[in-house]
Chains A and B, each alone.
Chain A
Amino acid sequence: MATPVELLLNQVRKENISRNGQTVEILKGIDLEVMSGALTVIVGPSGGGKSTLVRLLNRLEEPSGGRIHFCGEELRAIPVLELRQRIGLVPQKPFMFLGSVLDNLQLPFHFRHQTPPRADDPKLLLIVQRCGLEAAWLDREARSLSLGQQQRVSLARTLLPGPTLLVLDEPTSALDRPTGDRLADTLRTICRDQGLTVLMVTHDLRQAARIADRMAYLEDGRILESGPAGELLAHPRCDELRRFLAGTAGEEEP
């Protein structure tokens, strides 16, 4: 039912200029294929370039080299505002704009000069419910919600305009474990029920193992291994992933 999504990354590199003027290579040639309709998790230690990779996908930043293709088109060939509607990115920290939950859900439509759905819109109510929010919260001040609830509003806000690819940057890192687990389960359900293609990055292996169809291991700017999640977890081929699975890889917070 959902449109097939192709996302191909070919030798994607990203350099940044550090504070002392030196060039730092954050991504060193990423090759990745995201499967349509699957939930793919890129897992790896903090500081490995995961957030940077995510920011390249909806062009918050530009890669320094390599190619990214989305649904047969080169990323740069798609008008950037249209691209950001087709690839919805949920940032790491949920930022709530001043106003109610409903105001926040309607905001992307205002940005795009489209008529926003009203509070009784069936599609809005369906997404609100799928994201684990209560319809009664729509009138509440968004900033008065808990962090976990805000993350759900952020997710619903990105889903409502109907992206074909949902990208999430460490969506559970700011949440406590049970809240994070519930959000991960929500993602799992949305991916399955809507047939939505989901790409998520996280340093939380447990979370990744819990929900991923496919997995890729990113460390130090390189994808060292990728494939079906079960295979990667059961038979890691590279030492780095083996060490990460054993819990010895750097787990420091960003």
Chain B
Amino acid sequence: MTQTGIIPLSLPDLAGAFALILLAAALARLQGSGQGWPLLWSALRMVAQLLAVGYLLHFVFALRSAPPVLLLLLVMVGFAVQTVAARVKSRMPNFHRIVGLAILVGCGGTTFIFSSLIIGLTPWYDPRYLIPLTGMVIGNAMTGASLAAERLAGEMAERREEIETALCLGATSRMAAREASRSAFRAALIPSINAMAAMGIVFLPGMMTGQILSGTEPILAVRYQIAIMCVITGSVTLTAFLILWFGTKSYFNADHQVRDPGAHH
């Protein structure tokens, strides 16, 4: 083993690895599945995108200052909101504002608690930790956010009768939508619960594998993985909670009326 703990990967090595893509494309053509060119095209996209990210990270790491790191994190949040918007078909009123705020607070808050208050990152913005950490957290929160928003919209439409009956019986809008919000919350949390329960048995998580590959002691890598799963679960839960809190409200006005009541016709 080398001192750095990792075997350097040269460009010819990379070319060799890329040969496997050519093999895959050739097999796809042989099968006549029509995926030969799409496969090559997406492989090229992967190369270009990863190289771009690599240089961007290299650049941001070299700057050694907080604003570029924060800017990058904000861009990530922006992309996350766009991704959630693309995934969710029926969107609540004020969708972008609510999802953006929820991801920003839900992911930013939990990541900050972990990086600054728990492991005491110095400097607090150290991009080598903060960027990959936030990336993983946002990636998972996106799934939670999509599930929460999509499910809430579905429940609000499906439970229209229940909600209006509750309003007629004197419920506030929040009380009337409680069951709808509850099942959306449940849906958003299921992946995190399942992932934690299956962790280490069904799959070895990517971050831990990566750390082991780069020479970290397995026990330390495991500790990191446990910590990151806690941060992820915390952020998914907080993000979903915020989306449902503000999302539920967005379906009603201050007079406990359902907005856009045209649906009952």
Chain A residues close to B by CB (< 8 Å) = 16-18, 51, 55, 58-62, 80-81, 84-85, 88-91, 93, 95, 97, 107-108, 111-112, 154, 157-158, 161
Q: Is B165 an interface residue (CB 8 A)?
A: yes
Are B255 and A80 neighbours in the complex by a CB distance under 8 Å?
yes
B162, B169, B265: the one within 8 Å of A111 (CB): B169
Given A16-B262, A61-B261, A84 contacting B170 (CB threshold 8 A): yes
Identify the closest chain A residue to B165 (Cβ).
A95
| Complex contacts, A59 vs chain B, CB 8 Å | 255, 257
| Complex contacts, A158 vs chain B, CB 8 Å | 168-169
Q: Is B161 an interface residue (CB 8 A)?
A: yes
What is the CA–CA distance of A107 and B168 in the complex, to the nearest angstrom? 11
Are B161 and A93 neighbours in the complex by a CB distance under 8 Å?
yes
Task: Determine how close the nearest CB of chain A comes to the CB of B259; give it in whole angstroms.
Answer: 10
Q: Is B166 an interface residue (CB 8 A)?
A: yes
Are B169 and A157 neighbours in the complex by a CB distance under 8 Å?
yes
Given A60-B258, A111-B175, A16 contacting B165 (CB threshold 8 A): no
What is the CA–CA distance of A154 and B162 in the complex, to the nearest angstrom? 12
Q: Is B256 an interface residue (CB 8 A)?
A: yes
Are B170 and A91 neighbours in the complex by a CB distance under 8 Å?
no
Q: Is B43 an interface residue (CB 8 A)?
A: no
Q: Is the interface of B mostly helix, strand, loop or mixed?
A: helix
Are B257 and A60 neighbours in the complex by a CB distance under 8 Å?
yes
Task: Determine how close the nearest CB of chain B comes to the CB of A200; give it in whole angstroms.
Answer: 15
| Complex contacts, B162 vs chain A, CB 8 Å | 95, 97
Are A111 and B257 neighbours in the complex by a CB distance under 8 Å?
no
B161, B258, B261, B262: the one within 8 Å of A91 (CB): B161
**The 4 nearest A-B residue pairs measured at CB:** A95-B165, A108-B169, A111-B171, A111-B170
| Complex contacts, A154 vs chain B, CB 8 Å | 165
What is the CA–CA distance of A107 and B196 in the complex, to the nearest angstrom? 38
What is the CA–CA distance of A80 and B262 in the complex, to the nearest angstrom? 20
Task: Determine how close the nearest CB of chain A comes to the CB of B163; give it in whole angstroms.
Answer: 9
Task: Determine how close the nearest CB of chain A comes to the CB of B261; give it in whole angstroms.
Answer: 5
Task: Determine how close the nearest CB of chain B comes to the CB of A179; give it in whole angstroms.
Answer: 20
What is the CA–CA distance of A84 and B166 in the complex, to the nearest angstrom? 11
Given A108-B169, A157-B169, A161-B170, A95 contacting B257 (CB threshold 8 A): no
| Complex contacts, A107 vs chain B, CB 8 Å | 166, 169
| Complex contacts, B161 vs chain A, CB 8 Å | 91, 93, 95
| Complex contacts, B175 vs chain A, CB 8 Å | 111
**Binary A-proximity of B166-187 (CB < 8 A = 1, otherwise 0):** 1111111001000000000000
What is the CA–CA distance of A88 and B169 in the complex, to the nearest angstrom? 8
What is the CA–CA distance of A16 and B262 in the complex, to the nearest angstrom? 7
| Complex contacts, A112 vs chain B, CB 8 Å | 170
What is the CA–CA distance of A191 and B95 in the complex, to the nearest angstrom? 47
- A-B pairs with beta carbons under 8 Å apart, 21 shown: A18-B262, A51-B264, A55-B261, A58-B168, A59-B255, A60-B164, A60-B167, A62-B257, A80-B256, A80-B257, A84-B169, A84-B170, A95-B165, A97-B162, A107-B169, A108-B169, A111-B166, A111-B169, A158-B169, A161-B169, A161-B170
| Complex contacts, A60 vs chain B, CB 8 Å | 164, 167-168, 257-258, 261
Are A85 and B170 neighbours in the complex by a CB distance under 8 Å?
yes
| Complex contacts, B165 vs chain A, CB 8 Å | 91, 95, 97, 154
A17, A61, A84, A97: the one within 8 Å of B168 (CB): A84
What is the CA–CA distance of A18 and B262 in the complex, to the nearest angstrom? 8
**Binary A-proximity of B129-168 (CB < 8 A = 1, otherwise 0):** 0000000000000000000000000000000011011111
